[in-house]
Structures are given as structure tokens and as C-alpha cells.
Amino acid sequence: MSASDWLTPMDDALCARLRTCTICGIRPGPHGWLDIWSGAGVAVAVLLCARCRADELKHHMLAALLERRYGAVRQETSSTAP
């Protein structure tokens, strides 16, 4: 996947379009965790609150959903959202 495929999810993150946790829907405040999952021709940005990020079962559920829906897999690069 090329770097240009990451433009939309990075733009979503930097422009603060991701305001709630992808899993539970609460606002994570300044300590949200941005993660990008990518697959064949798609890159998906997710924002996780501290509670959902710490829950391994929720991570597996999110992984299954994104893989089934988009063929997306988690990349190794993650960072704290602004």
C-alpha cells in the first residue's frame, strides 16, 4: 500500500474528524489512541479510548470486523491522537 492511500485516514485524524471511540462511542478526550488499519486499496483510521485500547477482547472484535468488512489489517505504527 502506498503512502497516498493513508492520506484520508491521516487527514481525518489531524482535522479531528474522529471524535469518539470507534468501539464504544465515548469521547476519549486528549488521550485517544489513533490507529490505522490497511488492506487492498483501503486504509481505515480508528480512534480508541483508554478503556477500549486496554481491552484485548475488544481489539480482537475490532480486528475481525475491519478484516471482514475491508480486508484491513492493523499496521505496526500507532500514536496518541492530538
Contact 74, 35 (CB under 8 A): yes
Residue 14's pLDDT is 62
Task: Please state, in angstroms and rounded to a whole number, the distance separating the CA atoms of residues 1 and 30.
Answer: 29
pLDDT of residue 15: 64
* pTM of this prediction exceeds 0.85: no
pLDDT for 82 equals 47
Instruction: Output the pLDDT for position 36.
Output: 79
Q: What's the confidence (pLDDT) of residue 5?
A: 62
Domain count, the chain: 1
Separation CA 15–CA 59 (nearest Å): 24
Residues in the chain with pLDDT values less than 70:
1-16, 72-82
78 backbone dihedrals φ, ψ, rounded to 5°: -140, 155
Domain hosting 65: range is 3-80
